[in-house]
Amino acid sequence: MNKIESKTKQIFYFSLIVFSILLQAGSGICGKYAAMTIQEASPFITVTNIYYLLSLVFLVLQAIVWQQALIHYPLSYAYPFISLVNFVILFCSAILFHEQITRYNVLGLLVISFGILILSRSLGEET
């Protein structure tokens, strides 16, 4: 395999992680839309809501894509990227739902991400 093919494969494999992040964020966003469109809480109304169903589809696709990514990357490398879902959700909550982003939201995301980074580094040293 030449360098170009190798680099192309690396980009494709890494794009699986990125796509997994976007699918997981999409599921959360659809879940919010589902909650906003349901007038009364009942199991039947919830499971027939198009946004709820789309949220489930995104979760199933995310699980499949994530497993494919893990074929090519160690979990200790891939997992920290999942914390990026929190950033995507926070950004989308401000843009799509006009929710306010506070300094505590940002600080919380940084603490979570830093903690996951430390954990992933310690897992990497054990292997």
| Span 29-82, pLDDT tens digits | 999 999 999 888 777 778 889 999 999 999 999 999 999 999 999 988 888 888
**Which positions ≥6 away from 111 have C-beta within 8 Å?**
none
| Angle formed at CA 24 by CA 18 and CA 26, multiple of 5 degrees | 100
Q: What does the alpha-carbon distance between residue 71 and residue 80 come to, in Å, rounded to a whole number?
A: 16
- Domain range for 99 is 3-126
**Which positions ≥6 away from 120 have C-beta within 8 Å?**
76, 77, 79, 80
Q: Quick: pLDDT tens for 78-113.
A: 888 888 899 999 999 999 999 999 999 999 999 988
pTM recorded for the entire structure: 0.84
Q: What does the alpha-carbon distance between residue 22 and residue 92 come to, in Å, rounded to a whole number?
A: 11
State the total domains in the chain: 1
Using DSSP's 3-state secondary structure scheme, residue 5 falls into: helix
